[in-house]
Structure formats: C-alpha cells, structure tokens
Structure 1
Amino acid sequence: MTDLKEIQKIADDFSRTPLNLKPFKKRSRKDVADGLRAVFWYHTVRHQLGEKSSYALEKRFDEKGSFKRNADGKLIYPHRWQKYSHGERVPIPSLVVNVEKECKGSARKLNHVLWEALRLEQPVCPHVEVWLRELNPDIQMVVFHIEHREFDVIYKREKIGLRLLGKLSDRASMDALACLTILFREAVELERFHDAFLLGREIHWMLLFLGIEFQRNGVGKELIKLYCDRIFPMLAWDEQCFFPERTDYVGASCFLNLSPFYHPAHKGKSLSWETRVRCMRRLSSTRGNWAVMFGLDIEYGPNPDSQDIPKKLLQEYERRKRIVERAKEAISLGISDVGFLFGRRPPPNTFFQR
C-alpha cells in the first residue's frame, strides 16, 4: 500500500535529482544496462532490508573482513556497495547468492530479462521465445495461448493488437515493460511497423505509469533516457518517427501517479499498486480524460531525415500537433471537455482539483 505523502516525496525526488549513473571505464565491456541493473538491485536490497546507506550494507554483507584500519587508525574498506549505488560496478554472483538469502527476489531483479532486452549488441529475434518464458506467469498467460494436440500441449503467441496491449497495460510492472520491449524490438527487426508503432506507444505509457516506481529504486530518469536514446529511435515508418524528447516524462509520470489520490473516493487513503494502475489507465483512456489521452501520448510525425514527405502527411501532423498543444493547455487548466481540444467550446469547469 502507498500513501499520498510517500508518492509526493518520490515525485519531488524524481523532479530534483540529477542523472545518477556513472559511466563504466572506456575499456569496459559493460553496457549502460549493467549500470542500471546494479543501481536497481542496490536500492531493492536497501529498501527491503531497511538499511539507510551503502556503508551499512557493506558492513552487513562483509564476509571477508574487508574493514580494516591503516597505520593512522583510519577505517578503510572497498566501497563496493557505494559503487553499486552509482552503477559503477556489478555485484559478483557469490554476493548475489548471499544477499538473496536475506532479500528474496533481489537476484531476479538484478538478472531480469528487461536488462537483456535493452542491450543492442545482438538481434532479439533468436531469443524472443526464451525471454518471454522468463516473465511472470500472469504476463505469459497474456502473451501465449494453449493449443491441445493429441497428447501434446503447444503454446502459441497471441497476435499484437489493442486487446493484448490493454491486458499488458492492466498488469503494469517491470515484467510487462520487458514484454513490450521484447515484442517491440522483434516487430522492428521483422519490419512489422504497424505492430511496432502500437507497441512503442504502449511502452511510452508504461514508462509514465512506472516512472515513479523505477525512481523509488534509483533508476527512473536513467531508464527513461535509455529508452529515448536507444529504443524509440529504432522505429522509422512511412517517413515518420517518434519524438520522445518532446515528452516531460518526469512531470507526466508524477501527474499520473498523484492523480488517483485526489479522486473523491480515495482522498486520505492508502492505495494499492493495482488500484493506482486502474485509475491511471482510466484517466488516460477515452473513458477518462481526453486531454490526458492526447496531451500525454507520445508525439510522432515526419522524420527529419526524410526528404520527400507527402503533403497529406504534413497536414495530418500539423492538425495533430494543434490538438496536442490544446490538450496540454487543457491539462494545465484542468479541463476535460473534448470540445475544448478541437476549439469548439469555451473552457468548462475543471476536472481535477486539489
């Protein structure tokens, strides 16, 4: 359960904290995803065990007597956990096993398939089926369906569509994000651009939903930046591309995650993650608020690298751009009426009051 004060504290931290990840040495074979998983693992362990510092964790899991005093009596130790907290070093397997004994589930967070899906050294297609099998059962039940053939059971993939994406969004989690990322990269490699477009938009919304939760574990801004720099640019279709840099992911994630607590039925209450996701999903859909649905959606349009852009495409982009700008204005004013987005009505009463 999460209360309003806790979310506000994380939101403030999300807005103010600069990028924390330190780069690996130039000769290192480590990827930036390794730094992210080390930081994420560190904060997972720290939160679950209730420790407040890297020093406390270093002392707690010191089995080799690494704490010593030099000739001047000054205490010296390797500062390994401080390096984990900045993503400068990845924990060795033996330490991960020892920590897992006290902090169940931490090893899976460190070795989660999401980190593999974020690496670009190799194509994803040869690994898709294996990686999807590593996800939680509830996600696998969405992605696969069972076919019985005589004495055998065959697992077949569901088709990419709004129904599948809606089910994954309802189960917003690290595993759902990993699933979307794997499917997105597969669709790009197979040149199924329509599927990739739908998956890319869903990844965008998933980052907005999960941004604060990743920030709780120290990698909110860094993970979003990695998606903007590495994942979204993979897709270019019909002279178009995504513009993730135009989204204020921090502000949008804070807005969406705080909104459920201001609902009249939820004021003063602690909310489960499932309740928060349900509220955020509704707010960002046609059943909820049109301004949020248009204003916080990922922007896309003519690819700057394309030379011959059809006139019709430019006209559609300009029209969509005006709606998005109007939607963002509506969010700032607290307006939910769809007519305002298309400039047909004066501003009605606010939809969201603090």
Structure 2
Amino acid sequence: MSDFNRIKQLYLTFSHEMREHFDEKKPILRESIEAIRLRYWYEGLKQRTSLHTAYELERHFEKESFQRNSNGTIRHYRSKWSRYEQSIHTPKSKTLKRVELLAPGSTREIDHPLWRILKLTDPGEIDAEMILRTLSFDVQEIIFVCSFSGLSSYSNRKPITQRVLDQLERRASLDCLTCLICLLLEASSQKRAVLSTKIALTVHNVILMMGIELYARKVALPLLDILIERILPLGVMPHLKMWMISSDYIHASAHLNLMVYQTKRGNKRVLSWPQRAKLMYRLIHGYMGLDVQYAMAPQFELNDKVGDIPEELINKFNKASSLRNWAWDSIVEGRSEPMPPAELFV
C-alpha cells in the first residue's frame, strides 16, 4: 500500500541523490545481475518487516545465529546479513527457507526468472516457452489458452495481439515485465520488427509505472541501465535511437505515480499496487487527458548512422518532440491541459 506522501518522499530523496552525484562527479559503476537480485531481495525484506539494519534483520530471521552470555546479553553473532546488505554474499538455500517461513514469496524474488533472462548474452538463446511457464498464474492466464483432449488438458500460446499487451501492461509487475522482455527477445530473434516495436512500447510503459518502486528497492538505476542498453533498443525503429537514460525514467515514474493521487479515484487515498497500476494505465493512454499521454511517450533522437531519413519521418519526430515539450511544461507548472494547442498538430 502507498500514499501520495510516500511517493513524494521517494522522489525528493532521489532528486537529492542525483544532485549529490552530479556535484561530486561520482563515477558510474556497473553492477552485476547477481548484485541487483540480491539487493532487490534484501530491500524487499526491509520493506515487509519495517526493519532498517542488517543487525535487526538477522535478529528477526535468524535468532539462533546470536550467541548469548549467561545473563542473556549478546556475546557474538555472525554478522552475515551485513554482507547481504552490501550485495557481496548470496544467501544459501537453508537461509532462504528460513526467511521464507516468515516472509512468504521472498525466495521467489531472489530466484525470479527476470534475473535469468537478463544474464543471457544472445536473444536467440532464450527458451520463451520454458520461461513463460515459470511466471505467475495471472500472467500465464493472459499468455496461454487452455484446451482439452478427452480427460486431459493442455495449454498453447495465444497470438501476441495489442489486447494481450494491454492486459500485461495493466497488471504491471515483475512477472509482467519478465513476460514482455521474453516476448521482445523472441520477436527480435524472429525478425518481427512491427511486433518488436509494439512490445518495446509496452515495456517502456511498464517500467515507467514501476520505476519509483524499483528505486525504493535500490535497484532502479542499474536495472534500468541494462534494459535501456540491451532490451528496449530491440524495438526501436531504424531511424531512431534511445535518448532516455535511467534517471529520466525515475523522474517520469515519480510524476506518473504522484498524478495517480490527483485523480478522482486516487485522491486522498492509500492505494494498493494493482489499483495504482490500473490508474497509471489510464493516464498513460490519455483517458484523463492527452498531456500525460504525450509526456510519458518514449523519447528518442534521430539516428545519424542510417543515411538519409525521409522528410515524413523527420516531421513526425519533430511533432512528437513539440507535443512532449508542451506536455511536460503543463505537468511541471501544475496546469491540467487535456488537449494541446491546435498549432502543434499542424
């Protein structure tokens, strides 16, 4: 559950960290998938337990690791959770099972199929069928259709239509993101350019929704860097190239999540993630005004390595840029303008 003030505080913290990073000119460090998945698990446990330190988490999940004196005071403890906090040591299965008893579903987070997909170096290596069948039931229900043969049942893949992509987007979760990445890798390896572009747009929308929550888990920047470098370009048209960076996605995500609480359905309420995701879907797709739709559209730059770009495509690019600038001006200034000025459509 989340409210306006929580999202606002996350965004303020992010903005402060970005200013410090810029002022101190800190180097950008690449993080491994192993480090990202461990931190996602560790920070998730902090959120669920409302505990703040490695010491508190170790006492909560592994009391037996604390050796005590005869008077009951703590004499020694292993301090292994501090290594989890630093993402330098992965918990063994015994620890994961113990944690799972108190935090059901936590093992799934550290062993999620997403981490396995992101370790692939060649899109052609992916076994889409196998990955998709490991996802949550609600996602499989979207992707597969069940049929019967006598007393037996079996399931086959549905065609990937816009309706299927919309259903995944409305559910925006780690499993939905994994599904979309899997479908994009598959479509790209099959040279299905039009489908790849549609899936990539849906991936873009989902990470816009999830960005601020990924930041709350302290994995947003390194994870988004990977998606921007290796996944999203698979669905970019040849005359364009990625312009947005990971911090752009978190910035947009914070605004999108905050706008949820300014709608009639979200005003002054504490909302669950599924409730927020459905409202963000409506915002992104213009159901509550075209200003948000244009602001949240992916931002590209022209690819100067493809030779001459047709004038029609250049005009379309310039028009999209103008509409996006108008939309962000409206949002930043606090104006609600459902329709852009007529001259922007000329």
Q: TM-score range by the shorter chain?
A: 0.7 to 0.9
Aligned-partner SS, 2:154: strand
Over residues 192-245 of structure 1, what are the superposed CA-to-partner deviations in whole Å (9 max), with x where a residue is unaligned?
111111111111111111112222222123322221223223445444334333
For the Cα contact (< 8 Å) 2:38–2:87, is it kept in 1? Answer: yes
Kindly tell me the number of residue pairs found equivalent between the two proteins. 334
The DSSP-based 3-state class of the residue aligned with 1:146 is strand
User: Equivalents in 2 of 1:216, 1:105: separation in Å?
Assistant: 18
Q: Is the 8 A contact 2:323 2:340 kept in 1?
A: no
Indicate the RMSD between aligned Cα atoms, in angstroms.
3.1
Q: CA deviation at 1:98?
A: 1.9
In the alignment, which residue of structure 2 is the partner of 1:139?
139
Q: Where do 5+ consecutive residues of structure 2 fail to align?
A: 69-74
- Counterpart Cα distance in 1 of 2:76 and 2:228: 40
1:148-197 CA-partner distances (Å, limit 9, x unpaired)? 34454332222222211111111111111111111111111111111111
1:149-160 superposed matches below 5 A: 149-160=149-160
Partner of 1:6: 6
The CA distance in 2 between the partners of 1:134 and 1:246, in whole Å, is 28
CA contact (8 A) 1:239 1:309 kept: yes
Q: TM-score, normalised by structure 1?
A: 0.83
1:329 counterpart residue number: 329
- Output aligned runs, 1:228-267, within 5 Å: 228-245=228-245, 248-267=248-267
- Residue 52 of structure 1 corresponds to which residue in structure 2? 52
- Pick which of 275-284 and 264-273 moved more: 264-273
Check 1:94–1:305 CA distance in 2 against 1; reply closer, same or farther (3 A cut): farther
Letter of the 1:97 counterpart: K
> Normalising by the residue count of structure 2, what TM-score does the alignment of the two structures yield?
0.84
Look up the match of 1:351.
none
Q: Structure 1 residues 130, 265: CA separation in 2 closer, same or farther (over 3 Å shift)?
A: closer
Give structure 1 stretches of 5+ with no counterpart: 25-30, 69-74, 346-354
Aligned to 1:270: 270
CA distance in 1, matches of 2:65, 2:291: 58
Q: What residue is the counterpart of 1:338 in the other structure? A: 339
What's the counterpart of residue 218 of structure 2?
218
Residues 58-137 of structure 1: matches in 2 within 5 Å?
A: 58-61=58-61, 65=65, 79-123=79-123, 126-137=126-137
Q: Does 1:287 align with 2:287?
A: yes
Q: Distance in 2 between matches of 1:325 and 1:341?
A: 15
Does the CA-based 8 Å contact 1:23-1:88 persist in structure 2?
no
Post-superposition Cα deviations, 1:59-105, rounded to whole Å, max 9, x if no partner, equal 4455785879xxxxxx8866532332233332222221221122211
For the residues of structure 1 that align with 2:250 and 2:330, how far apart are their CA atoms? 19
Instruction: Return the alpha-carbon distance in structure 2 between the equivalents of residues 280 and 322 of structure 1.
Output: 23
Give the SS at the match of 1:270: coil
